[in-house]
Amino acid sequence: MVKASELFGGGSSGTAFLVADEWLTPGTYSYTVPVDARIGCFVMGGGGSGAGTITAGNFATGGGGGGFAYGEYDVTAGTVLTVVVGAGGVNGGLNSDSPGTAGGTTSISGLPAAATISATGGQGGQSGAVGGSAFALGGVGSGGMLHFNGGRSGSCVAGYRQGSGGGGPATIFGAGGKGGDITVAADGKASAGGCALLDCVDDSMSPIGPGNGFTQGAFLLGVMFDVSANYGASSAGSVDDSASSVSGNFTGAGGRYHTTNSSKRSDAGNYGGGGGGAASPTWAKGGAGGGGYAAIIFRRNSQSVDL
């Protein structure tokens, strides 16, 4: 597989590309190539939403993180590309046993030879009440030359009321990290979400992110490419905690378990991250998935474009 370092080089100086445009809001867009150029296309799918459960003996996992793909194409001036940014998965029902919903697919089409590059969204969170598996899978990329899978959610132990964290999204830097696996066979357990590149430690409710081993440097302009400014920590898992916990950019959200609090749902994932799962005997709603991302960049060493 092609590595990002082979395409772009390392470090923040001498960037090989210039961002032409990027899309951070789910929807369908049109982009007209202004000049003959070699372009790079980045796509990241939306995160799946977390499941929710209020039934004894049932778990609720977080959603999976969105997948990622990158490709390069020689295009001519006037070429019209269609950019679709996938939405994050929508929260399940309130006070019910509801699996999460999958994140949407992000794609860029209209490329040479009728090519399309795309990345699917993460799977919706799984609920033990409806025969779900122990975790939700991340999305996958297709087309282009570089693909990474989104991180899976944390897993839960069957037969116990638990809420696990969502998976982190895949990015240009690599596969998304998984949410924390819950391995203790007991009710009342929750775990934190994963983030880009980093897995949450099993059974941990502590967030993971920059400052916890995420040291990739930025080498491009744009939201996805500036780690120091735009990448945050995942949100923490919580047990009977009424405080809000905000998930950082490009991260999964923590799972939640509570017995009495009726004002909080699990947190939402961010930029392709999976939402957290929620478990409670009285009130539960999984967190929404984070929306996808797309960008088009120009190569600085293009034969046609002097950037």
DSSP 151-193: PPPPP--TTS-EEPPPPPPPBTTBPBPPPPPP---SSSEE-PP
Q: What is the average pLDDT across 108-129?
A: 92
For the ranges 104-113, 157-166, 263-272, the lowest mean pLDDT is seen at 263-272
CB 193 within 8 A of CB 63: no
For residue 206, the model assigns a pLDDT of 78
Confidence band of 247 (pLDDT split at 50, 70, 90): low
For residue 272, the model assigns a pLDDT of 86
- Most confidently modeled range among 4-13, 52-61, 224-233: 52-61
Give the mean pLDDT of the chain.
Answer: 81
CA nearest neighbour of 87 among 268, 299, 280: 268
b/e map of 262-272 (b: 16 or more CB within 10 Å)?
eebbbbbbbbb
CA 144 vs CA 32, 70, 147, 196, 302: distances in Å: 20, 5, 8, 21, 18
CB 151 within 8 A of CB 271: no
Q: How many CB atoms lie within 10 A of CB 114?
A: 7
CB 58 within 8 A of CB 98: no
For residue 307, the model assigns a pLDDT of 35
Chain centroid to CA 22 = 17
Q: Decide if pLDDT at 1 tops 80.
A: no
Strand, helix or coil for residue 70: strand
Q: Decide if pLDDT at 160 tops 80.
A: yes
Q: What is the average pLDDT across 72-89?
A: 95
The Cα 288–Cα 268 span in angstroms is: 5
Strands 52-53 and 68-75: unpaired
Q: Decide if pLDDT at 91 tops 90.
A: no
Q: What is the average pLDDT across 243-248?
A: 58
For the ranges 25-34, 124-133, 169-178, the lowest mean pLDDT is seen at 124-133
Strands 106-111 and 293-299: unpaired
Q: Decide if pLDDT at 137 tops 90.
A: yes
pTM, two decimals, is: 0.88
For residue 178, the model assigns a pLDDT of 93
Q: Decide if pLDDT at 2 tops 60.
A: no
CB 116 within 8 A of CB 109: yes
CB 55 within 8 A of CB 249: no
CB 119 within 8 A of CB 141: yes
Confidence band of 224 (pLDDT split at 50, 70, 90): low
Higher pLDDT, 139 or 216: 139
Read off the tokens for 8.
Answer: 């772009």
The Cα 97–Cα 99 span in angstroms is: 7
Higher pLDDT, 1 or 238: 238
The DSSP output letter for 13 is: S
The Cα 187–Cα 209 span in angstroms is: 27
Q: What is the average pLDDT across 292-302?
A: 78
